[in-house]
Structure 1
Amino acid sequence: MFMSHRWTTSLTGALASLALLAGLMAPASSLAGGQIEEPLADAVRTALSAAVGSGTAPALVFADAGQRQQCESWAFGLEAKLAKRKPEDLVRREFLQTVCYESKRAGLDPSLVMGLIQVESGFRKYAISPVGARGYMQVMPFWSRTIGNGEASSLFHMQTNLRFGCVILRHYLDVEKGNLFMALGRYNGSRGRPEYPNMVTAARRAWQLPDGAGTQVADAGASPRR
């Protein structure tokens, strides 16, 4: 049985349209890897749970006006650079201030966290990796069971995702005694391989302000606020 050329062309066009629609509706996929689930000592699990906080979405509670001003200045300095990825002013500003807050809360350099987000998710809030890591910082769902409220869907909430990601990276830095190369490898599930740490380090440089805006925090030696 033969189909007319016109009918075949229409069918092909319809299938292409459906495929495009499906692609638009599907969650953005990330090419990044994911953390590997490892047994945690009870004390470590308790400490991480305390650092993450309660099951409700966290809120920005700056230590003082100076810290708030510091993060606002840092965010202002990077707004133009992030505009293409996040065109809405309020969304972009809130994102940058939250990155600064959660980074400093965990004792991390905000530019490092920005570099990691760029490599992990390309700043896509709903990115999902082939292995199931979620959100901006590509947090694996098992973390929500291990140190959170068990709701993996909460990892798509901006501040929840950033808090988990920063606390986990801080944990890996502590485990690796401040070795950023190894800690980044653990975060990505590729410990010991250079590709991922090199990509994050290169991306980090792009998010460093010329004067540092006073937000440069050591990658090691600080512990998350409880």
Structure 2
Amino acid sequence: MDNRSIIRRPFRYRYYNAAFGIIIVNIVFFVFNTISPQSRYYTALIPGLIIGKGFYWQFFTYMFTHANISHIFFNMLGLFFFGTQVERRIGSSEFLLFYLLTGFLAGLFSFIVYTLTGMYGAVLLGASGAIFAVLLAFAVYFPYANIYIMGIIPVKAPLLVIGYTAIELFSQLLSINSGVAHLTHLAGFVFAFFYFLIRLNINPIEVFRGGRRR
């Protein structure tokens, strides 16, 4: 890694359970939003409010806001299983930057698309964009790991990432389950890919092909 580049300058390795901290923040947001459902008006990402009222914090708070118990449960389950492993591999500071930046960029990208298509009242919420980014990171660092679908069917991590990407792409193109922000999921994958290329100098495609490893 080129230490002369500010973009690629590494953090000193430290591990302080950032993934668990993120889970706790999500739970706090969920409890708050459940007690006061109107609060989602302020914490979800709504293009009309960002443009009209300057609610710019929504680019970050949307990824800590969830619709219901199953929504937060499965996102936090993914963060627990995959995020903790990625964090141990790259360190907590790098993991926090990776998670928050990819989540922010996925939200920003969705905001731009919603705005250009006139969907000012769209409501984007959930950690899925950042979680999909974490899933790609897990596949890059643990390309031979088996992930058991439904606890039964073993699938190599890179194949699972490719499969998820294909499903999300077709779902977006065919408008299947329009309540799910497939575009945000795909953006999470894409921005994670570029994070590896630009920040970490790792090409995920080469890793998946069995080439360069880190």
Fold similarity call, TM over 0.5 = no
**Structure ranking higher on relative contact order (CA contacts 8 Å, 6+ apart):** 1
State the TM-score, normalized to the length of structure 2.
Answer: 0.27
Q: Which has the higher helix share?
A: 2
TM-score, normalised with respect to structure 1? 0.26
